[in-house]
């Protein structure tokens, strides 16, 4: 980080996709880029396999998995029986700690590089993350429902002890519109973390360009 700062001076860090991700686990064919047509998908053990540990299909899965039909805990990530901490733990137990650990390491590296506390924004967080960095509420959609959700999300993360938090102002997915973006900018002014952001296939959310929707 120190070497990079000598080339490109920066004031903080944004760490994204900082949880174990693997698109295509247990999928045939896996969802991989066209230039990788022959890669086989990662296969996790099933209840009928001799080496099945019970972690891939627990009796009580998370709500996020429950409401996504046909998916399980390993969806878009690694097998829950995968070993971490030099074989001492399972992915099932440590999956949510990756983002937290990276936030801690980034916080310390920034402090050594800049000589002061600096902002770290993480996508994946865990209890006590607020001591080391902040959080943004993830990829949202340019809808009024998501504007309302940004209010709830910001308040909830303050309750979680992560007060440095905000959303993708105006919405990330889909085209925004002038009124929605205006109201979201007004809301974002009260967030401790403010960022206007949208996907690269949508019109810019600045000036008159946004009025096309």
The catalytic residue positions are: 16, 19
| Maximum alpha-carbon separation in the chain | 62
Query: Residue 75: which residues within 8 A CB-CB, separation 6 or more?
Result: 25, 26, 65, 68
3-state DSSP percent of the chain in helix, strand and coil, to 5: 30, 10, 60
Separation between Cα atoms, residue 120 and residue 107, nearest integer Å: 7
Separation between Cα atoms, residue 22 and residue 79, nearest integer Å: 10
Phi, psi of 155, deg, nearest 5 = -65, -40
Separation between Cα atoms, residue 107 and residue 88, nearest integer Å: 26
Q: What is the sign, positive or negative, of the torsion defined by CA atoms of 38, 40, 73, 161? A: negative
């Amino acid at each position: 980080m120190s070497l990079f700062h000598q080339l490109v001076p920066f004031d903080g860090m944004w760490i994204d996709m900082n949880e174990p991700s693997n698109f295509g686990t247990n999928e045939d064919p896996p969802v991989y880029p066209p230039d990788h047509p022959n890669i086989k998908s990662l296969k996790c053990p099933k209840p009928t396999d001799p080496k099945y540990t019970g972690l891939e299909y627990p009796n009580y899965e998370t709500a996020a998995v429950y409401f996504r039909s046909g998916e399980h805990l390993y969806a878009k990530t690694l097998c829950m029986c995968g070993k971490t901490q030099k074989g001492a733990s399972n992915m099932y137990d440590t999956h949510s700690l990756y983002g937290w650990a990276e936030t801690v390491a980034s916080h310390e590296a920034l402090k050594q590089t800049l000589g002061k506390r600096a902002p770290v924004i993480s996508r994946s967080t865990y209890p006590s993350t607020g001591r080391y960095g902040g959080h943004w509420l993830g990829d949202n959609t340019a809808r009024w429902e998501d504007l309302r959700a940004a209010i709830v999300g910001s308040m909830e993360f303050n309750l979680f002890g992560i007060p440095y938090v905000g959303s993708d102002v105006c919405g990330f997915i889909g085209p925004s519109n002038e009124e929605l973006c205006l109201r979201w900018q007004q809301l974002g002014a009260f967030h401790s973390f403010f960022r206007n952001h949208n996907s690269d296939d949508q019109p810019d959310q600045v000036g008159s360009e946004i009025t096309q929707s």
